[in-house]
Amino acid sequence: MKLIQINIVTLACLSAVSALISEPYITKFAKRKMADGCFSESVMAAFRGKILAAIEKCKGPDPVMQSELLAQYYAIVRIGGSRRKRSTVSSFSSQQLQDAESRISEMIERLGCVLKELKFANAQNRIDASSIKKLITSLGLPKSLREDLQEGVDQCNDFANCLPNSMVDKPPSTPEFGRQKAFFECFERAKAETCMKKEFQEGYLPSLQKENPAINADEAFQTIIMSFMVGDSPF
């Protein structure tokens, strides 16, 4: 069994409707299916329930805020960037810039509230790595998945904390928002690597070890990852 398997029928169907479904929605769907398959649908459903509860508590009186918060949460925390159409600065009037600054500040403040409700950030808006690792433990995941995710939390927290303040604390964002964004962008990649490693261990490693029982699982996986990075993958 190959590490990456392509369902030809599914691929053909996706190609046929690509003109109707935008790329960000396909990406979001693919990420969701990956998470459901990797961590289990029940675990992800419970976690999404926690997200919605936190957003409901932080949205305030604005009825539109819940949907906007949900979109921005997934853009910043899970996907790592927004795909909205960009506008040039020259297209903004002075009043529009002020309105945009006020709206951005409000949205970031409410996102900070969501992160605190989920215990992803502390009272000082800094990433709470210890709390995130406790949450991962509470999910009841297999030991290897749990340990890989917790290692990713530590690595991404170290990375985010290495960034200078001049890069991450720029108005109109709140203090530490840039560092939060850097952490979650990093952790999104760490989650993907964790799931790829799980697929490798379950679907490909057994056949490798039949050929060579002494093969090191972690080294073999990292070799495959590096082969993709340098464009020399045998898959």
The pTM score is: 0.74
Q: What is the pLDDT of residue 142?
A: 92
Name the nearest CA neighbour of 118 among 78, 88, 89.
78
Rounded CA-CA distance 151/89 in Å is 40
Q: What is the pLDDT of residue 91?
A: 63
Whether 200 is in a domain gets the answer no
pLDDT in tens, 102-149: 788 888 888 999 999 999 999 998 999 999 999 999 999 999 999 999
Largest pairwise CA distance in the chain: 68
Query: How many structural domains is the chain composed of?
Result: 1
Whether 233 is in a domain gets the answer no
Domain holding 135, by residue range, is 21-81+93-188
Mean pLDDT lowest among 73-77, 118-122, 161-165: 73-77
Whether 123 is in a domain gets the answer yes
Mean pLDDT lowest among 13-17, 24-28, 43-47: 13-17
Judge whether 94 and 102 are in contact, CB under 8 Å: no
Q: Residue 23: pLDDT band by 50, 70, 90 thresholds?
A: low
Q: What is the pLDDT of residue 100?
A: 77
Residue 111 sits in a domain whose CATH number is 1.10.238
Whether 173 is in a domain gets the answer yes
Residue 4 pLDDT greater than 50, yes or no: no
Whether 195 is in a domain gets the answer no
Whether 128 is in a domain gets the answer yes
Whether 26 is in a domain gets the answer yes
Judge whether 188 and 80 are in contact, CB under 8 Å: yes
**How distant is the alpha carbon of residue 28 from its chain centre?**
10
Tokens standing for residue 51: 């997200």
The arithmetic mean of pLDDT across residues 73-95, rounded, is 61
Whether 100 is in a domain gets the answer yes
